[in-house]
Amino acid sequence: MSQSQVVSFRASGHFLNWIEAQKLDGESVSQAAQRILKEVSGTSTLSTTPTDLSTRSNDSVVSTDIVDTVDKVVADRLDPVMERMAAIEERLGKLSA
């Protein structure tokens, strides 16, 4: 029998924006976060990510891999946004000078 428990956490800033950007039609932010975690862990039935961690036998390795994978996905998505923000800040600095 599988144990189930409600898991909740606060997300803000870039992380929240990233989750919101990943939402599918009609999906809440919480549902999107749950789907993303399932996809990254390899337990999703959607198979939208190439990461298959379900073949690993060591939970600590899987946990570390999940964290690394999520960090990389978030960083990859945030890098272009951060570059655009830096360019905007630079232009704003020139305007106020």
**Mean pLDDT value of segment 11-18:** 86
| Predicted confidence (pLDDT) at residue 11 exceeds the cutoff of 80 | yes
pLDDT tens digits, 24-39: 999 999 998 888 888 8
| Cα separation, 7 vs 63, whole angstroms | 16
pLDDT tens digits, 46-96: 644 444 434 434 444 445 666 677 778 888 888 888 888 888 888 888 887
pTM, 2 dp: 0.44
